[in-house]
Amino acid sequence: MPYSKSLQFDEVGTWTEIKLEIIRKYAAAYSKILSKQSYIHHVYIDGCCGAGKLLSKDRLRIINGSPLVALEIIPPFEEYYFIDMDSDKVDYLKTQVKN
């Protein structure tokens, strides 16, 4: 399903970029620990995933949002659930994820 050509990335400031760094570090540690537990099936759930790309007001450039940050985590989660109420953003995210 094609995404809307009028899709605009959410503009974010410093706090969001800090939050993304926290997600990056926390999720990597969490995944590393849980991936070693054979009895645990660990998943990543993002309830407001957006389009996967954001516009940084401070850097004046496009940056990866939380879904793309999560997909870069090593070791990877066993499953990912990306949810958003804006179907245009979800459709765009699907174009960013080759899976």
pLDDT in tens, 10-54: 999 999 999 999 999 999 999 999 999 999 999 999 999 999 999
Average pLDDT over the chain, rounded to an integer: 91
E strand or H helix that includes residue 10:
strand 10-12
Model confidence pLDDT, tens digit, residues 67-91: 999 999 999 999 999 999 999 999 9
Closest-CA residue to 58 (of 4, 5, 14, 7): 14
Which DSSP string corresponds to 33-97? Answer: HHHT-TT---EEEETT-TTSEEEETTTTEEEE-HHHHHHT-SSPPSEEEE--S-HHHHHHHHHH-
3-class secondary structure, 15: helix
Q: What are phi and psi of 38, to 5 degrees?
A: -65, -20
